[in-house]
Amino acid sequence: MMTKVTIAAALGSGLIGGAFFAFSSFVMRALGRLAPAEGIRVMQSINVVVINPVFLGVFVGTALLCAVLAVLSIRSWSDAGSGLRLAGCVAYVVGTFAVTMLCNVPRNNALDALPADTADAAAYWTRYLGEWTWWNHVRTAAGAAATVLLVAAQLVGRGAP
Backbone angles phi, psi at 69, to 5 degrees: -65, -35
Chain segment 5-34, per-residue pLDDT in tens? 999 999 999 999 999 999 999 999 999 999
Find the helix packing angle between 2-22 and 119-157, rounded to 10°.
150
Distance CA 136, CA 106 (A): 13
The residue ranges of every structural domain in the chain are: 2-157
User: Per residue in 98-117, pLDDT tens?
Assistant: 999 999 999 999 999 999 99
Residue whose C-alpha is closest to residue 29's, from 109, 15, 21, 44: 21
Using a cut of 0.85, tell me whether the model's pTM lies above it.
Answer: yes
CA distance 40 to 127: 12
For residues 161 and 34, what is the distance between their CA atoms, to the nearest angstrom?
A: 49
- pLDDT grade, residue 1 (50/70/90)? confident
